[in-house]
Structure 1
Amino acid sequence: MLTTGFKLWFGFAVAAMMAAVFAGYTSGATETGPVSIGWKGGVGNHVSYTILIFAAGVLAMFGLIAAAFRDADAEAQAEVLGLAEAPAGQVAVGNSLWPVFGALGVGAVGVGLVVNSAIFVLGLVIVAAVGVEWTMTNWSERVSGDPEVNAEARENLMRPIEIPILGTVGVAVLVLAVSRVLLASSVTGAVWVATVVGLVIFGLAILISQRPEMPRSTVRGILFAGITAILILGIVTAVSGEREFHHKGGGAHHDEAEADH
């Protein structure tokens, strides 16, 4: 039996596939190209077609995951575990920051379409990562009625995957965002920006290390605010463009070359 989650995600996948076919036929594709994914002819505009096909594949994968986990249905879990009664479902859950990150990724995609392909790719990466993390968070919140058991189930499943991947992607994203800020600033301004950011990070690290009793939610909030600020500044400065670089010595050499001729 198909679950509600599978129907939702698979419906989105079909819609994305139909949008890809429509985009192909309206951008100069052959008769059989879009429906055969390029096997029997051209698909029209390769960028739009590839993005929509990729989105359809990701959405279909979400549907398969929802079907495999049976939408975290309590009765299905009771049947697998051989229990007479279904485990209690958790009704109240905490706030989630994934919608905020998702909105940031969608905004980066929109800006990247107009400004820079690097920002566009960055937005796609953020949206894909948020989709996976948000899905697994929703699943873990309904594993049982015990929040600690739910958190442990999520960590056992996702920590071996998300720590190396998100760590690598996060560092790359922050480096890219900071580089945009520094390149948009003047020479002196870039030095001041790097100094201030370094001092702020160092000061926050000392503050957190001297207060081990600080709640994890507070630490997460500080990190979230800092990362969001850096990403927003990176996008804004990327839109404004880089500063002009003046190469010293080139003009005199050029004048001497003209005098020789």
Structure 2
Amino acid sequence: MNVNEDFKIFIENKVESLHVHDNISITVILPEASRSWSGVKWCHVERCPKLHNLFPSWDGFMSFKSIRIFSASDLLMAYCIWGRGILYHAYNYEDLQHIYLHNCPRLVFVLPISFTLPNLEIIQIAYCSNLQHIFPLDDKCPHWIASGVTFKKLKHIKLYHLHNLEQICGARSLTAPALETISLRDCWGLKRLPAVSRRGPKPVVDCKKDWWDRLEWDGSEANHEPSLFETRHSAYYKKTLPRVSVLR
């Protein structure tokens, strides 16, 4: 994609809304970009069958500092949303509130982190069958993030049909004190939920009982035990019934 320098500067620093769609040739969004995309607040990418890396390496200072909503759908070749090996800063993604992803079957990870996400409220991902980590640790992640991270405003997590998902976050522990709901379907590789607060209502977990029974816990001292959650699975979970004939 040929764009001149002035146009790149305008897009990365002035544009607040970015919608990329139905492009059959694009492989990255503004390749070799080196600026911050500091003005973008809303970004949606859809139906770009050759797009394999949405935002590769760039200068991490102040990158995406204003983005609030990111969504992507029907990206058949996309390997990741944001690339690895970038020196991120505390200002990066500080306004990010919502992440929506649908039908990105080759996606392996979303956003490598070396920071927390202070305003993230919703994670909703479905039909990304190769996704392994939503927030893996970045190559330059400091030890205090690697040991544990808190998403203090995270309220809702909805994960459907993520066959290879291993972790939500690559940090040793993830804490979400404001968590309200978790809804999961067909995410059998996920073994851990975030730690939560003991204050206020218990987060509601809508899941299969078989999956719930296999979860791993750190215990009460870490605010990470089954009693801190309310489970709901009776609506669609049924024990195997004996085979009987309906003929009379």
What is the TM-score with the length of structure 1 in the denominator?
Answer: 0.23
Structure having the higher strand fraction is 2
Looking at secondary structure, tell me which structure has more helix per residue.
1
- Higher relative CO (Cα under 8 Å, sequence separation at least 6) belongs to 1
Q: Which has the larger radius of gyration?
A: 1
Instruction: Give the alignment's TM-score, normalised by structure 2.
Output: 0.23
